[in-house]
Amino acid sequence: MATIKDVAAEAGVSVATVSRVLNGKGYVHEETLMRVREAIEKLNYSPNEVARSLFKRESKLVGLLLPDITNPFFPELARGVEDELQKQGFRLLFGNSDEDPEKEKAYIDTFLQNQVVGLISATQAFSQLNDERPAIPTVLLDRTHEGSYTVYADGIEGGRIVARELVNRGSHNITVLKGPGHIQPVQDRFLGAVEVLASSNVNFQVIQMASLTYEEAEQRAKELFSQYPDTDGIFASNDITAAAVLHEALRIGKSIPDDVQIIGFDDIPMSRLLFPALSTIRQPVYEMGQQAAQLLLKLIKKEQVIEQNIQLPVSFIERNTTRKVKRNG
Amino acid sequence: MATIKDVAAEAGVSVATVSRVLNGKGYVHEETLMRVREAIEKLNYSPNEVARSLFKRESKLVGLLLPDITNPFFPELARGVEDELQKQGFRLLFGNSDEDPEKEKAYIDTFLQNQVVGLISATQAFSQLNDERPAIPTVLLDRTHEGSYTVYADGIEGGRIVARELVNRGSHNITVLKGPGHIQPVQDRFLGAVEVLASSNVNFQVIQMASLTYEEAEQRAKELFSQYPDTDGIFASNDITAAAVLHEALRIGKSIPDDVQIIGFDDIPMSRLLFPALSTIRQPVYEMGQQAAQLLLKLIKKEQVIEQNIQLPVSFIERNTTRKVKRNG
DNA sequence: AAGCTATGTGTAATCGGTTACACATGAAAG
DNA sequence: CTTTCATGTGTAACCGATTACACATAGCTT
């Protein structure tokens, strides 16, 4: 690899001059400029970003921390972040933490050691790092935390919508599969749903889940149908859970949506491919990633940010696990 | 952030000594060691990886290039790679290229500028960079290229299995949705399937697709059923395509698998959740990622590698889009 | 007693950039 | 004719680590 010295020698100038043309700052004679450009071309030179980072004390890297890219909710998020950062020449250092605080810390440490200019985290553990938060711009994504910059979808409203739709479409006996309480956005969905259910004229019960994995959901779904056989409406907290519930319902011979309506949350790509296609709440995931990246970019450039917390709207996606609503009575 | 100088001052030694304890090489007096450790602890010091990289001329970073993490095939791959590298303290610089040579080049350039020690690429464009291949250890993943280190699944055998299963389970009129020919592993599946079909006593026809996206597949599926209404077996080239075909088949009232059998390829997570659950060829995706990482690690450490090309076996996953095979006639 | 070797530590060069500062030149201003 | 300023370029310090090399000390060997 050619260095700036090689280019300087080739062009017959000093390294300072080469650096000037590289960065387009300071005076450089037109002719010198040409010579340097030719030398760069000839040697196929491109500057060493590491040396640059060292001097500047910041890189063109951003750290992205996710719980698990394998969870179908996250690839779109990551893509939104990446597409937005990439435009500005930033690159992504990326890690899956599995919500394990140890791993989390290890990643953050090495990210910082690599002098990332910013951090985006969609992990719960991260948002709980009260003390010792990294001193660089940080945006929480799909998580919230007092005093942090955050981008998230309106989970409360999402939960309300689910409850309303279930009720409006005729469910009277609703079971909510409640996700782990320590995950804020999941908690919000639950709260929103309960708020509406409590003020509606329906029965409802809650089954607490320790995780939102397919495996646990399969188990809970069995319990659900044996414990509450009269359930005619289910809020599944996320689409993966909903998929498991849907499968179990079909397996035991329920007719969907006639016997039981099911609504998920997230609108991950597979939801439309389920059978029956899953009615769900759509979060604008890709856009959330983009917004987080844009917010981070502003923080990095120390531009003024108007909103510290960006909340994006959710919407109901009607598919075939809910009944058609009757119009005009 | 504290630097090595701060630590040296705190411990009353020179930076060289601190460096020695950091790297555990060279002589350090027991007592000095203690003092330095305490200073490190006290200042909460951790070495600047950028400065290290500059001097050593290599980082602890590996570049990972994917076509699109949003394609459900890739998250597992990425996870396999990451988990394996993470164990050895390597971090991932990651980019989606959309198979766009421009983007591809931009990513590779910046990866190199950041002095990554190795590269893993699952993109087609990359494997076609004949000249000007980066001079650092590189492993192609799910792609092949003469003279490169590669990790991939046995697509030919996978294609054969599909054809055999379709035929053995009673299809006589088979349509193959052939993926784009320039993607080697996709081509292999096709070749394997044709090899078996040609020597079997069945009719078959081929529909060429320009991509393997859901959108195109929806379109082609319509053509398929109108052009070849007698089709009773479909090889869909990947699971996403299979999902589209399956939906279209159900939409026009075909009974699956009685009227038409469908087999996909990849066994992405959604496949088991489709209805009917999709019979497919499973690639050991996570393991492929791991193997690629392990191979790369060996190349980086200049250990001897026995196989330049690692081919992993595929297997048939029987679910409900294929008919049960009759045993003992 | 002189010479070796093992141990322990510091000085300074180095990696490849950026930039403060000094200096030179020529044109314009007074 | 001196002063001033814009333009153009080079020298060298610096970012934060690593490491070659020099040097010092102490214990062994012969």
Closest approach of chain B CAs to the CA of A195, in angstroms?
32
| Count of pairs with CB atoms under 8 A, one residue in A, one in B | 134
- Distance, CA of B203 to CA of B199 (rounded, Å): 11
Which amino acid is present at A176?
V
CA-to-CA dists, residue B164 to B173, B193, B204, B241, B270, angstroms: 13, 8, 13, 20, 24
Contact B274 A269 (CB under 8 A): no
| Alpha helix segments (H runs only) across A169-280 | 184-198, 214-227, 239-251
Q: Specify the pairing of strand B280-282 against strand B315-317.
A: antiparallel
Q: Specify the pairing of strand A91-96 against strand B91-96.
A: antiparallel
pLDDT digits (tens, 9 = 90+) for B259-302: 999 999 999 999 998 989 999 999 999 999 999 999 999 999 99
- Retrieve residue A218's tokens: 């399969």
Name the band, by pLDDT with cuts 50, 70 and 90, for residue B127.
low
Query: What pLDDT, on the 0 to 100 scale, is given for residue A134?
Result: 67
- CB of A163 closer than 8 Å to CB of A200: yes
Residue to mutate among A108, A120, A273, with most B CBs inside 10 A, is A273
Q: Write the residue in A54, A68, A93 that is nearest to B50 by C-beta.
A: A54
Same domain, yes or no, for A184 and A273?
A: yes
pLDDT digits (tens, 9 = 90+) for A307-320: 999 999 999 999 99
Same domain, yes or no, for B292 and B265?
A: no
Q: Write the residue in B48, B83, B269 that is nearest to A72 by C-beta.
A: B269
* Pick from A42-51, A124-133, B239-248: least confident: A124-133
Higher per-residue pLDDT: B132 or A32: A32
Query: What pLDDT, on the 0 to 100 scale, is given for residue A127?
Result: 63
Closest approach of chain A CAs to the CA of B30, in angstroms?
28
Query: What pLDDT, on the 0 to 100 scale, is given for residue A132?
Result: 59
A265 in a structural domain: yes
Contact A78 B69 (CB under 8 A): yes
Other C-beta atoms closer than 10 Å to the C-beta of B309 total: 13
Residues 6 or more apart whose Cβ sits within 8 Å of residue B122: B65, B66, B67, B74, B77, B140, B141, B142, B143
Report the domain count for chain A.
3
Same domain, yes or no, for A292 and A146?
A: yes
| Chain B residues touching A61 at Cβ < 8 A | 93, 114
Is residue B195 within a helix (H) or strand (E), and if so which, with residue range?
Answer: helix B184-198
Same domain, yes or no, for B270 and B300?
A: no
Query: What pLDDT, on the 0 to 100 scale, is given for residue A182?
Result: 87
Across residues B221-242, what is the average pLDDT? Answer: 96
- Distance, CA of A204 to CA of A187 (rounded, Å): 17
- Distance, CA of B89 to CA of B61 (rounded, Å): 9
Instruction: Considering all nucleic acid strands, name the nucleotide whose C1' atom is nearest to the C-alpha of residue B57.
Output: C15
Distance of CA B113 to the CA centre of its chain: 24
- Distance, CA of A33 to CA of B33 (rounded, Å): 52
Same domain, yes or no, for A43 and A120?
A: no
Per-residue pLDDT at B198 exceeds 60: yes
- Angstrom distance, B89 CA to D16 C1': 20
Same domain, yes or no, for B35 and B180?
A: no
B323 in a structural domain: no
* Pick from A52-61, B120-129, B304-313: least confident: B120-129
- Retrieve residue B241's tokens: 């395509």
Per-residue pLDDT at B130 exceeds 80: no
A236 in a structural domain: yes
Query: What pLDDT, on the 0 to 100 scale, is given for residue A144?
Result: 87
Same domain, yes or no, for A34 and A77?
A: no
Q: Which residue of A has its CA nearest to B243?
A: A273
| Chain A residues touching B241 at Cβ < 8 A | none
Residue to mutate among A61, A69, A240, with most B CBs inside 10 A, is A69
Query: For residue A57, is it left (φ>0), alpha (ψ between -120 and 50) or beta?
Result: left
Query: What pLDDT, on the 0 to 100 scale, is given for residue A329?
Result: 43
- Angstrom distance, B247 CA to D29 C1': 89
B325 in a structural domain: no
Same domain, yes or no, for B275 and B303?
A: no
From the list A172, A179, A185, A183, the residue with the least C-alpha distance to A207 is A179
pLDDT digits (tens, 9 = 90+) for A34-43: 999 999 999 9
| Chain B residues touching A54 at Cβ < 8 A | 48, 50-51, 54
- Distance, CA of A87 to CA of B293 (rounded, Å): 28
Query: What pLDDT, on the 0 to 100 scale, is given for residue B95?
Result: 97
pLDDT digits (tens, 9 = 90+) for B17-57: 999 999 999 999 999 999 999 999 999 999 999 999 999 99
B326 in a structural domain: no
Contact B91 A68 (CB under 8 A): no
Same domain, yes or no, for B148 and B159?
A: no
Which amino acid is present at A298?
K
- Distance, CA of B159 to CA of B62 (rounded, Å): 33
Q: How high is the mean pLDDT of chain A?
A: 94
Three-state secondary structure readout of B72-119: CCHHHHHHHHHHHHHHCCCEEEEEECCCCHHHHHHHHHHHHHCCCCEE
Residue to mutate among B43, B45, B50, B84, with most A CBs inside 10 A, is B50
Same domain, yes or no, for A62 and A143?
A: yes
- Retrieve residue A62's tokens: 């951003």
Same domain, yes or no, for A66 and A26?
A: no
Query: What pLDDT, on the 0 to 100 scale, is given for residue B147?
Result: 87
Name the band, by pLDDT with cuts 50, 70 and 90, for residue B131.
low
Query: What pLDDT, on the 0 to 100 scale, is given for residue A202?
Result: 95
Name the band, by pLDDT with cuts 50, 70 and 90, for residue A108.
very high
A305 in a structural domain: yes
- Angstrom distance, B21 CA to C1 C1': 37
DSSP state of B120: E
B70 in a structural domain: yes
Contact B74 A76 (CB under 8 A): no
Query: What pLDDT, on the 0 to 100 scale, is given for residue B327?
Result: 57
- Angstrom distance, B5 CA to D25 C1': 26
B321 in a structural domain: no
Per-residue pLDDT at A11 exceeds 50: yes
Three-state secondary structure call for residue A111: helix
| Alpha helix segments (H runs only) across B118-183 | 124-127, 155-168
* CB B28 under 7 Å to nucleic chain C: yes
Residues 6 or more apart whose Cβ sits within 8 Å of residue B135: none
Instruction: Considering all nucleic acid strands, name the nucleotide whose C1' atom is nearest to the C-alpha of residue B11.
Output: C9
Residues 6 or more apart whose Cβ sits within 8 Å of residue B24: none
Per-residue pLDDT at A290 exceeds 50: yes
Same domain, yes or no, for B83 and B167?
A: no
Name the band, by pLDDT with cuts 50, 70 and 90, for residue B145.
confident
- Distance, CA of B239 to CA of A131 (rounded, Å): 46
Three-state secondary structure call for residue B208: strand
Write the CATH number for A39: 1.10.260.40
Contact B113 A69 (CB under 8 A): no
Q: What is the dihedral of CA B228, B233, B238, B240, to 10 degrees?
A: 70
Query: A83 lies in which domain range?
Result: 56-153+286-313
- Angstrom distance, A4 CA to C25 C1': 27
Write the CATH number for A232: 3.40.50.2300
Count Cα atoms within 13 angstroms, Cβ side, for A190.
19
